[in-house]
Amino acid sequence: MSRDLRKYARDTNLRLGIGAALLLLIVGLGLIWIIYGFGAALMGGLCILGALIPIGLILLFLYGSDWILKKAGRDGN
């Protein structure tokens, strides 16, 4: 078993993010669908998509700046 704790933390954070997104989509939209119907679930999905676009842009910027810093050799290691 590897002792790379950074890789373990990165993998754990990725799994938590995927699990939270799936929980939000499946349980959240599923309950909206059951209680209010298909149209409301569709609108809820559009609202979730609208909220995830800025978050995705921020993450893209952070990963891009991390990539640029690693290319320049200034990753802190």
Number of domains observed in the structure of the chain: 1
Instruction: Tell me which residue range forms the domain holding 14.
Output: 5-72
> Within its chain, how far is the Cα of 69 from the centroid?
22
Q: What is the pLDDT of residue 73?
A: 82
Average pLDDT over residues 39-46: 96
What is the residue-averaged pLDDT of the chain? 91
Nearest of 22, 59, 26, 56 to residue 41 by alpha carbon: 26
Residue 57 resides in a domain: yes
* Contact criterion met (CB below 8 Å) for 25 and 48: yes
Rounded Cα gap, residues 33 and 41, in angstroms: 5
Predicted model pTM:
0.68
> Is the confidence at residue 25, as pLDDT, over 80?
yes
Residue 77 resides in a domain: no
